[in-house]
Amino acid sequence: MTSCGSDIPEKSESFMFPQDKVVPVGSNMTFCCIVKEKDDFKEMMYGRQEMSATRLSRRTYAITVTNQPASGNTGTNVICCSQRLTLTGAVVFVGYPPGDEGLVCETRDLASAECSWKKGRDTRLRMKRSRTKYTLNGRDCLEANERKTWWCSSKVWEESWTLVARNPLGTVQLTDSAQLTDRVHLLAPVNVTAVEVEAWSATLQWSWSVASYKKLEMVCQLQLFAHELSSTRNYSGPGLSSVVLESLRPDVDYTVTLRCGSKHSFWKWGNESAPFRIHTKMDRPDALDVWMWMDSSNTGRVFWKPLSVRKSHGALVGYEVSQSSAEEDGRTPVSLPPGNFSYPIILNNSSDITVAVAARNPAGLSHVTLHALSVISFPVDSQLSVSELLGTNGSFVLSWQPNVNASSGYAVEWVPTGCSGLCPVDWKKVPESDCSFTVNSDSLVAGVRYTVSVYSLSTGALTLLQRWQGYSQEMIPSQSVSKLSPIQTGSDVLLSWKATAMEHQRGFIRGYTVYLANAAHLDLIANISDPEVQSYRVKGLSPSFYKFVVKAYTSAGEDAGSTVDIKIEMDTADMLFVGILVPLGIMFCCLILISICCYKKREWVKKAFYPEIPGPKVPGDWSSPQGPLDVKPSPHSLVHIVENPERDFTKEGLFLVPEEEEESENDNIEVDTDSDEPALLRYYNQVVGDGSHSNQVSDSSGSSTASVGSTQTEITYAGIQSPTSSQGACGGGGYRPQMQSVAGPAEPQIEFEADFQDDGLNTGYKPQCSWQLDSPEAENFSGSLGSPTSVTSSQFLIPESSEEKPQPSNTWFHNFLSGKS
């Protein structure tokens, strides 16, 4: 810190040191700031970085910077600041020592020397006093010192040189040595011209700016550029100043550049001349590549390939085509415009024909190309067996067996299959030594079927060796199958269709798929792998609406598909058959179910439809022997219905005798309970009194007279009802049987009135209706009897009382459903 001991009162201004110091990158350095009297101190800055200052005395402050980076073009500023302004500052230059290398000296004029080197890394020292200084063999290099170039010249060739590069941070020394003839670097040729230009050659001439070059053994290199072609040619000789360019192309623009170098101890190529343009003259076109294509047995077309720029030797103005046969001495040419590349031909009866084709440009007519064709030709539709050809990466790879007759080689022809008229025929001629060829993809179209043929070429005619058909790249068919139609046969549907046309197949058809279309997807029905099969029968379809989709597929996939729909209807015979069998089957099933139910409910059915109606019995002794009274109709078979009969209590009535009492009293009378006939109601004559039953019993003779010779009455009932009547009156005129309770006398008295009224109503049997509704007999009767029938009629005599109320009871249908028996 002794350098910072300048804190003396005599200093009137602020001061910082060191000033304008040059130091290498990565060094450490301390800066001191002495503040003027009465000035305050705030901080010290290194570049844009605020540093932590250390106070050394009353007015002295210091900072230390470590590992300093390289400075900018003007160095790095270090300043000392107060609260309001900058007090003082210094600049430090941080850089690198010289790093130049690779000193090389050469001659351009075979006398002087030019030395150059590679400049090293930038020293980052831009100030004039800190720049790198160069000296060559002790002489200053003015050009390098002015920083214009990195070379230094000497008027005299010296076999050794020493270059010294020096700056404040270091010094570098470079050396080189060589013979003059080993370091010759020629200047560029000048005044390059073409003195003679032909269709196939040109003479190029130039000169040198250094006279000593005329005796120098040198080598020159010419570069030719034409369109997309380029070539390099080398020429040598002493003092070389002209060359002849051969094998040029007619009617072509060439651009030529030239450079030369010393032939002995070649050092490097000299400077290149300015480009020079040469245009060669025209020449006759090259011979055409001609091919004959027969589309039928007597018609065809001759094709030729257009000439490239290199082969046309000038702009073509047209073509000339001529045809001749063995019978014709000469031929008449036909001129065609330059845009035509084919011409139709017709075969006559001659055995052989010859076609000549030539191209013309302003320089003349090309060599004539003759194409001899025998009548025995092989058109595209030839019956020769055709093999399937599969493409490989969009190309056709062909191979065939060699043929001894192929003296002129082979020809490979490919043309779209099925093409007619002006077809895009292409071909390639192969040397006889080759028996394979690849048709590149750039001459083929994906999805197009090609017919590829191989011919052997000889002097006489063509011979077809092999033929293929194939696709360079298969694609899915562009169109679906056509004429898709359904034919219904019973429950089957026959689908038939036509194959897609060849131009739309875009691949070999490998088969067909048949789908059933549902709402959202297709269900596969069949996959037909034979492309020759163009129909399919769908069997066992039920009556409904169906939609079918048929798709053809290649190795690339299926086409979009053709759709057809059909509504399946039942056949008339089938419908008649079903219409008869279905109702019969339903009826048979119903009968079986009914029979099963009736069998299980047989007891209930018997009671519901065939109830056992108890027969009426007369209590007591009706006659001797006691038995049921058989009431028979009167001789005139008339029953008079009394609408409002006058109640005569002197008359006798019939009372129902309960079945139990009858069975106990008359055991000798058998009742057929198993019979399906309606039960017999047995009535006994009995005198009915007012409010009670009479106990008077008449003799058996009177009973016999009143019964008209019969003691038994058979009356059939269809139901059990409770008869009703008004109180104490026989309001409803009808048959009203009398009933006596079983609790009455054991032997009721039956009384007949001997005398009948002569009012015209006594012609038949007139029952008494003097019963009481509230009597026990009525209650017993209402629970067991229904409306009676007349003696001589099977019709019910329903009481007409308006007060009759039917007794509620369960019906047979309700019992049937509830399962009651």
Q: Supply the DSSP string of 235-251, one letter for each residue.
A: EEEET--EEEE-SPPTT
Question: What CA–CA distance (Å, rounded) separates 509 from 480?
Answer: 11
Of 117, 212, 109, 118, which is closest to residue 157 (Cα–Cα)?
A: 109
Single out the residue of 464, 496, 471 nearest to residue 481, CA to CA: 496
Q: What does the alpha-carbon distance between residue 812 and residue 687 come to, in Å, rounded to a whole number? A: 39
Q: Which residue has the tokens 């605020």?
A: 50
- What is each CA distance from 659 to 250, 608, 650, 686, in whole angstroms? 149, 21, 27, 17
Q: Which strand ranges, in their side-by-side order, compose the sheet holding 101-106?
A: 101-106, 113-118, 151-154
**First-residue to last-residue Cα distance in the chain:** 137
Centre a 10 Å sphere on the Cβ of residue 122 and count the other Cβ atoms it contains.
11
802: left (phi over 0), alpha (psi -120 to 50) or beta: alpha
Q: Which residue is listed with tokens 């004429």?
A: 483
d(CA 402, CA 400): 6
- Position 574 scores a pLDDT of 65
The per-residue pLDDT for 582 is: 86
Residue 687 is given by DSSP the state E
Query: What is the C-alpha R_g of the chain?
Result: 71
Per-residue burial over 410-434, b if 16 or more Cβ lie within 10 Å, else e, is: bbbbbbbbebeeebebbbbebebee
What is the DSSP pairing of strand 738-739 with strand 652-656?
parallel
Walking along the chain (821 residues) 10 residues at a time, the average pLDDT comes out as 53 82 93 86 89 88 92 90 86 92 92 90 87 90 74 88 92 93 93 93 94 92 89 93 92 94 92 94 92 79 89 92 72 87 78 83 87 54 76 91 88 88 88 91 91 85 88 92 90 92 92 90 92 92 90 93 87 70 90 88 80 71 54 52 50 45 43 44 43 37 36 40 38 44 39 39 44 43 43 46 46 51 46
* pLDDT at position 470: 94
pLDDT at 8: 58
Amino acid at 445: V
Neighbours of 645 (CB within 10 A): 22
The Cα-based distances of 527 to 230, 478, 541, 564, 774 in angstroms read: 60, 20, 19, 17, 95
Beta bridge partners, 218, equal: 237, 262
Dump pLDDT digits (tens) for 446-494.
999 999 999 998 876 778 899 999 999 999 999 999 999 999 888 889 9
- In this structure, are residues 163 and 132 in contact, taking their beta carbons and an 8 Å threshold? no
Using CA atoms, how far apart are residues 468 and 686, in angstroms rounded to an integer? 128
CA gap 136, 144 in Å, rounded: 10
Spatial strand order in the sheet of 276-279? 229-238, 217-226, 253-262, 276-279
Beta carbons of 703 and 709 less than 8 angstroms apart: no
Helix (H) or strand (E) holding 663: helix 659-665
Burial category of 594 from C-beta neighbours within 10 Å (exposed 0-12, middle 13-18, buried 19 and up): exposed
How does 524-543 read in b/e, with b if 16+ C-beta sit within 10 Å? eebebeebeebebebeeeee
625 φ, ψ (degrees, to nearest 5)? -70, 145
User: What's the pTM value of the predicted model, to 2 decimals?
Assistant: 0.51
Q: Are strands 15-17 and 29-34 parallel, antiparallel or unpaired?
A: antiparallel
Q: State the Cα–Cα distance between residues 455 and 443, nearest whole angstrom.
A: 19
Question: Residue 674: its pLDDT value, please?
Answer: 45
Question: Shortest CA distance to 166 belongs to which of 145, 137, 143?
Answer: 145
- What pLDDT, on a 0 to 100 scale, did the predictor assign at position 530? 93
Per-residue H/E/C for 457-505: ECCCCEEEEEEEEEECCCCCCCCCCEEEEEEEECCEEEEEEECCCHHHH
| Residues in Cβ contact with 572 at an 8 Å cutoff, skipping those fewer than 6 apart | none
- Residue 520 CB contacts under 8 Å (≥ 6 apart), including other chains: none
Q: How many helices (H) and strands (E) does the chain have?
A: 9, 49
- Tell me how far apart the alpha carbons of residues 681 and 614 are, in angstroms, rounded to a whole number: 7
Helix, strand, coil percentages in the chain from 3-state DSSP, rounded to 5: 10, 35, 55
Torsions phi, psi for 683 (to 5 deg): -115, 145
What is the CA angle 469-473-475, rounded to 5? 105
Which pLDDT does position 661 carry in this prediction? Answer: 43
Q: Which amino acid is at 6?
A: S
Neighbouring C-beta atoms of residue 615, cutoff 10 Å: 23
pLDDT tens track for 214-255: 999 999 999 999 887 889 999 999 999 999 999 999 999 999
Amino acid identity, position 563:
T
